[in-house]
Chains A and B, each alone.
Chain A
Amino acid sequence: MTLLDDFEARYKLLGIQVVNAVLEHAPLPLLNRTGISELILAV
């Protein structure tokens, strides 16, 4: 989230890649339970 919310485009782009990987490789119930899915949707 720190990368995704950064003001520099290069870090933001890297953050998007990391979030894509998280959505592909992390269990969805974990993302929901921790509130990370909510944060990602709010970006």
Chain B
Amino acid sequence: MAVLSEHVDEGPHDIGALLNNLRIPSNFAQHETLEDKDTIVQLDAWKANAFSALEDLRRLLGNKLDESQKSDLIYTCAVFQGDGDWTSEDMRALSSGKRSMYATHCEMTEVPSTEILELEGEPSLFLLEEVLAKHIKPIFQTNPHPMLNAETGRKLPRTAGGYAAAQDAYEGQVWKEHPGVGNVLLWCVQRIDVRACILASAHAELHRCRPKRTNACGTLSCPR
């Protein structure tokens, strides 16, 4: 488990290291039923220091990020949106960018809406695809839904592996070892621009259907 206590005294100055430290420990998935006191203390310590780590991250984000870093940033910070034992009102506000009161950390000081997830503005469809393909899909692909083709995302004509497979899907659910992955998925879907999605879909269909070696307009050489 990444413990952030050392980060308070001598915080990492590298965005990648901070993002790694902010990954939610998998034990949070069983937080409600945990009985081991040491683990509970470790998780509480992680959460107590994660807010400072988000603040450090916010301070470091003045530099321009490439697409890969942006997708890592979204995956790391969107887990703090929504519900979960690993997040709090303050962490939600700092990671989202919504104008809010930091009740416990900033003595009720209003902060401007320029926080982490909103620093780059609305994410493009390309960036959302990058987050889903790079971070979300590999997690769910280990336990694909028995009625879906994991490669194409299309519905299967019948349950893969037969009737019992529906029960097998409840075993070895690796995605539950990634607390907050559902929050990231929801955050991404809520930001899909349906018009951009229709255009991208039509473009992909056009490329799929047209004969090879011709352009979208159907000619071999398209005047520009």
Contact = CB atoms under 8 A, between A and B. Distances in A.
A29 B199 CA distance: 12
Contact of B182 (A7, A18, A24): A18
B133 to A, nearest CB: 16
B189 interface: yes
A30 B186 contact: no
Contact of B155 (A11, A25, A26, A36): A36
Contacts, number: 66
Q: What DSSP secondary structure best describes chain A's contact surface?
A: helix
A30 B201 contact: yes
B201 A34 contact: no
Nearest to B187: A21
Contact of A17 (B170, B186, B194): B186
Given A25-B197, A30-B197, A34-B155, A3 B182 contact: yes
Contacts of A1: 145, 147-148
Interface residues of A, number: 25
Nearest to B32: A10
B192 A25 contact: yes
A3 B154 CA distance: 17
Nearest to A22: B189
Interface string B54-90: 0000000000000000000000000000110000000
Given A2-B169, A21-B186, A30-B201, 16 more contacts: A2-B140, A2-B143, A5-B145, A10-B83, A14-B82, A14-B182, A18-B186, A25-B189, A25-B192, A26-B189, A29-B198, A34-B153, A34-B154, A35-B155, A36-B155, A38-B155
Interface of A: 1-3, 5-7, 10-11, 14-15, 17-18, 21-22, 24-27, 29-30, 34-36, 38-39
30 contacts: A1-B145, A1-B147, A2-B140, A2-B169, A2-B175, A3-B185, A5-B169, A6-B170, A6-B173, A7-B170, A14-B82, A18-B182, A18-B185, A18-B189, A21-B186, A21-B190, A24-B194, A25-B189, A25-B192, A25-B194, A25-B197, A26-B192, A26-B194, A26-B197, A29-B198, A30-B197, A30-B201, A36-B153, A36-B155, A39-B155
Interface of B: 82-83, 140, 143-145, 147-148, 152-155, 169-170, 173, 175-176, 182-183, 185-186, 189-194, 197-198, 201
